[in-house]
Amino acid sequence: MTDTGVTEELLRRFEPLGSLSPARLKEFADLCYVDHCDAGVDPFQGHDIGSQLAFLAKGELRLLFADGSSETVVAGSPAAKASLARRKPVVSGLALTPLEIIRIDRDLLDIMLTWDQLAEFDATRTGRLKVLAQEEAPALPQWKVMSGVFSMSNLRSGAFANLPPAHIAELLNRFARLEVNQGDVIIREGDEGDYYYVIESGRAVVTRLVGGVVVNLADLKSGDAFGEEALVSDAKRNATVTMKLPGVLLRLAKHDFVALLKEPLLNRISHETAAAKVGGGAQWLDVRYPSEFQYDRLPGAINIPLAEIRNAFNVLDKSREYVVYCQSGRRSAAAAFLLAHRGFKVFLLDGGLWAGRKAA
pLDDT tens for residues 206-253? 999 988 899 998 899 987 889 888 887 778 898 999 999 999 998 989
pLDDT tens for residues 84-142? 866 677 788 899 999 999 988 877 777 777 776 666 544 444 433 444 444 433 333 34
- Report which residue type is found at 132: L
CATH number of the CATH domain containing 328: 3.40.250.10
Please, which pLDDT band fits residue 177 given cuts at 50, 70 and 90? confident
The verdict on 171 and 209 lying in the same domain is: yes
Please tell me the distance from the alpha carbon of residue 242 to that of residue 304, in angstroms, as a whole number. 26
- Inside any domain, residue 56: yes
> Quick one: 230 exposed, middle or buried, by C-beta within 10 A (0-12, 13-18, 19+)?
buried
pLDDT tens for residues 135-161? 433 333 344 445 456 666 667 666 666
Domain residues for the domain of 47 are 8-107
The verdict on 138 and 234 lying in the same domain is: yes
The verdict on 236 and 351 lying in the same domain is: no
Question: Who wins on pLDDT, 173 or 238?
Answer: 238
- Inside any domain, residue 1: no
Q: Please identify which of the residues 171, 243, 309, 326 carries the catalytic annotation.
A: 326
- Inside any domain, residue 121: no
The verdict on 325 and 234 lying in the same domain is: no
Would you call 32 a catalytic residue per the annotation? no
Domain end (from 231, 258, 285):
258
Highest mean pLDDT among 16-20, 132-136, 159-163, 269-273: 269-273
Residue 73's CB: how many other CB atoms inside 10 A? 19
The verdict on 145 and 205 lying in the same domain is: yes
Domain end (from 225, 258, 291):
258
- Inside any domain, residue 50: yes
Q: Which of 154, 42, 162, 33 is nearest to 94 (CA)?
A: 42
Q: Is 39 helix (H, G, I), strand (E, B) or coil?
A: coil
The verdict on 164 and 214 lying in the same domain is: yes
Q: Kind and range of the H or E element at 66? A: none
CATH number of the CATH domain containing 54: 2.60.120.10
- Counting the structural domains of the chain, the total is 3
- Inside any domain, residue 196: yes
Q: What is the pTM of this model?
A: 0.58
Q: Which of 325, 330, 313, 159 is nearest to 236 (CA)?
A: 330
The verdict on 154 and 181 lying in the same domain is: yes
